[in-house]
Amino acid sequence: MGQAIISTVQAAVRAALQAARQSVWRSDRLRPAGVLLVGVSGGADSLCLLHALWSLAPDLGLTLHVAHVDHGLRVSAADEAAWVSAVCQGWNLPCTVGRVDVRAIAAGRGLSLEDAARQARYGFLAQVAATVGASAVAVGHTADDQAETVLLHLIRGAGVEGLAGMAFAAPWPLPEACATGLELLRPLLGITHAQTEAYCAAAGLVPRQDETNADPAYARNRVRLEVLPLLRALNPAIVAALGRTAEIARGETALLQSVENETWLRLAVVERGCVRLKRDMFAAEPEALQRRLLRRALATIGGEDLAWEHVTAALRVARNGRTGACSSLPHGLRLRVDYAWLWVEPEHATQQESFWPELEQTVWLDLPGDARLAGVWSIVAQLVGREALPDDWQSVPSFTAYLDAERLGERVLLRPRRPGDWLVPLGMTGRQKVSDLLINLKVPASCRNALPLVEAHRQVAWVVGVRSDQRYAVTDETQRVAVLQVVQQGDSCNG
């Protein structure tokens, strides 16, 4: 029986590490001779994990380094740190021990002791990983921890991602270390706490006991000590059932993520600390996808941990708000409604730093050549042969125009619009006032007067970012094409 449980656990750990080597997060990690940091508290779960890894390390080509952190919450913690160090010395494993003041962190950041301990623990592990050159950290979370996590998320209110619980391999949970590619591994996630205790007994290991695990003041302890026993009365296999729920939710989350990624590429633009979403396309998406897109937009510029109320309020403004309407969001951010875009931006962003290019005075543009507009904007002109155009040139981006170079001449005039300006919009036969065109295409009123026009032979050839003139269109007879492109420079946020 003893050897059977050891074989079972070690097989699970081996499979988890092999899967991590093919992880979508970090396919090149855990290579032979790589350093794997192991977080060890001294309890049955982490001690079981360490022994299994120590036994498998030669075969897997891993170099182990152990980290233990004293949270400063218990008198006995110092003895546990010394005990973990002694175990590591006996197994010839390097060990780094640290101490953090969780109570001070909780008070300083306005966190619960649980949240403060978690942040301090992962912060310490990330520091040790950087010091020893580890690209991944293994911790002793078990199937029981997974069940508790799913229940805690359910109690607090969670979507599919919350019900997915913890993954075997995931990016680091703290953003400052996540950017370095550090990975968090949970090789025991398919093993129960009862099995880790049996493993320790079979291997002759005597784990330490943390008395705070019995303190009902902590929410996770109450779930473990009070809620799970009640649920076991209804379903003795509740831990396995909640584990299946998490696995199903992870699969559905991956599917939703792929849909989100595809939609994000179609309707989101990230630039200089802001995100803008195409308003009409956003409105056409299902509400569930709208929520994910909004959360992603906020996370992209530093807004994390959005409450349900914030998302609901922002979506209401996004769907129903008039131009100029705003919804305040945490972290000094806001959602703002424009004619064509939904802006997720810092609250201090000004609309004068417009998405639309501006021109303060008349400027000549040589073909080829470049000219500076107002603020961060410039316009660049190139001449290319008709045969050099890309296959998708007719799917013209807003700030690029392809015009017949022979009809334009050697240079064009860049100027603001004037009363009575008109053009023949590309693809049409009749003339239209520029003012009507701008209104119909919902260019913000505050941007219309300064919007550049390209004039050739006293005719409007291109309303920049809006529409070019049919009289200067590229045809089969065109030999040289003038490619006009408006670009941004600098680092100010567009609002």
Q: Where in the chain is the domain with CATH 3.40.50.620?
A: 2-234
- On average, the pLDDT of the chain sits at 86
CATH 3.50.40.10 location in the chain: 363-488
- Checking if the pLDDT of 128 tops 90, the result is yes
Tell me the C-alpha distance between 236 and 444, whole Å.
62
Q: Which of 40, 28, 36, 24 is nearest to 60 (CA)?
A: 36
According to DSSP, the β-strands at 333-337 and 369-372 are unpaired
DSSP 388: G
In the DSSP assignment, the letter for residue 419 is T
If you ran DSSP here, which 8-state letter would residue 212 be given?
Answer: G
Q: Is the pLDDT of residue 140 over 50?
A: yes
CATH class of 252-346: alpha beta
Question: What residue ranges of the chain are covered by domains with CATH 3.30.465.60?
Answer: 252-346
Residue 71 burial (10 A CB sphere; 0-12, 13-18, 19+): buried
- The amino acid that residue 10 corresponds to is Q
CATH class of 2-234: alpha beta
Topology annotation, domain 363-488:
Phenylalanyl-tRNA Synthetase; Chain B, domain 3 (3.50.40)
pLDDT digits (tens, 9 = 90+) for 70-117: 887 776 777 888 999 999 999 999 999 988 888 888 888 887 888 888
- What's the mean pLDDT in 243-253? 94
Q: Rounded CA gap, 187 and 168, in Å?
A: 6
- On whether the CB atoms of residues 274 and 301 are closer than 8 A, the answer is yes
Contact of 417 with 455, CB cutoff 8 Å: no
φ, ψ for residue 76, nearest 5 deg: -75, -5
Helix (H, G, I), strand (E, B) or coil at 467: strand
Q: What does the DSSP 8-state code read for residue 227?
A: I
| Spatial contact of 253 and 160, defined as CB atoms under 8 Å apart | yes
Question: What is the pLDDT, as a whole number, of residue 491?
Answer: 37
Crossing angle, helix 238-267 and helix 143-156, to 10 degrees?
A: 60
pLDDT in tens, 275-331: 889 888 899 999 999 999 998 998 888 766 677 888 889 999 888 877 778 888 887
Confidence band of 126 (pLDDT split at 50, 70, 90): very high
pTM of the predicted model, to two decimals?
0.68
Residue 252: predicted pLDDT? 92
Determine the pLDDT at residue 18. Answer: 86
* Strand order across the 452-456 sheet: 363-366, 411-416, 452-456, 459-463, 467-468
What percent of the chain shows pLDDT beyond 70?
91
